[in-house]
Amino acid sequence: MAEHVVVEDRGAVRRLVLNRPEKLNAFTAPMQDRLFELIDQALADQAVRVIVLSGAGRAFSSGFDMTSGPGSRSAVLDTSGDLVANRAKLRHLLDLWAAPKPIIAQVHGYCIGMANDIVAVADFMVCGASARIGMPEVREFALPPTLGLWPAKIGIDRTKAILYAGRYLTGQDAVDLGLAVEVVADDQLAARVDELAASIAEVPSSRLAIIKQAVNSWAEVAGLPAATLRGAEYHALYHQVSTWTTATVPGDAPPGDPGGH
């Protein structure tokens, strides 16, 4: 079986590439666990100073694959099990958010549902022009528990306006709103992220860790960790009140979308 997360080392930069392109890099539970494991390994490796998250093929990720296994539509209707699984994932995501090494999200194509939880732990996001970022599943069956940390990053009102409509943001939208720091042509995206990562990697790890903790402390004062963990409860509740319809969400939809979440 092909490795669903590929590791690429470039000096002091470790790139972790989601590698399930035939499914637009939709996550399975083992794929999610493997990504977390590889990030933990990168954090423990003293030779690694910067981590880059990216996706192979036409998209970063279309979210969670709802067709089988843990996280499937039948599984999430088990309220207690759903809540336990959500809390475990969120605690790991918060650990990554607070991790001492910089994490950069490189996003092109679709970044949907759970993919927003993943990029939320990154220190910043760089988008390709093709980026389509959103949580269209809020109209049907799910509410990503971290909300991509959007309320903290772009404000409560803007988050509501986007989620109520279930609409997608372009890469330029993401920059304008403050979700991403830069948007470039897709064919320049990897090179631009490599450039940024290499520049950051020139700084000693001890200094990077202090800078990151100093900045993150402002979000901690604002209650971000507690709000994120509470998202596990809202996520489980949303599954119970959903209709699980197959209605098409207005706007763009990934061809062959496996039902990202």
Count of beta carbons in the 10 Å neighbourhood of residue 147: 23
Please tell me the predicted confidence (pLDDT) of residue 261: 52
Work out the mean pLDDT of the chain and round it to a whole number. 84
pLDDT per residue as tens digits for the range 27-52: 998 999 999 999 999 999 999 999 99
Range of the domain at 154: 5-241
**Residue 19 belongs to a domain:** yes
pTM here is 0.82
pLDDT per residue as tens digits for the range 155-191: 999 999 999 988 999 999 999 999 999 999 999 999 9
Rounded CA-CA distance 159/152 in Å is 9
Percent of the chain at pLDDT exceeding 90: 59
Count of beta carbons in the 10 Å neighbourhood of residue 154: 19
Q: Which of 81-95, 100-114, 178-192, 193-207 has the lowest mean pLDDT?
A: 81-95
Count of beta carbons in the 10 Å neighbourhood of residue 32: 21
**Residue 261 belongs to a domain:** no
pLDDT per residue as tens digits for the range 102-152: 999 999 999 999 899 999 999 999 999 999 999 988 776 667 788 889 998
**Residue 17 belongs to a domain:** yes
**Residue 251 belongs to a domain:** no
Please tell me the predicted confidence (pLDDT) of residue 216: 86
**Residue 256 belongs to a domain:** no
Rounded CA-CA distance 241/56 in Å is 34
Domain count, the chain: 1
Residue 153 reports pLDDT greater than 80: yes
Sheet bearing 168-170, strands edge to edge: 110-112, 132-134, 168-170
**Residue 249 belongs to a domain:** no
- E-only strand ranges, the chain: 5-10, 13-18, 50-55, 103-107, 110-112, 124-128, 132-134, 168-170, 182-184
Residue 237 reports pLDDT greater than 70: no
pLDDT bracket for residue 258 (50, 70, 90): very low
Structure-block tokens of residue 130 = 């093709």
CATH for 208: 3.90.226.10
- The winner for highest mean pLDDT among 182-186, 210-214, 228-232 is 182-186
**Residue 219 belongs to a domain:** yes
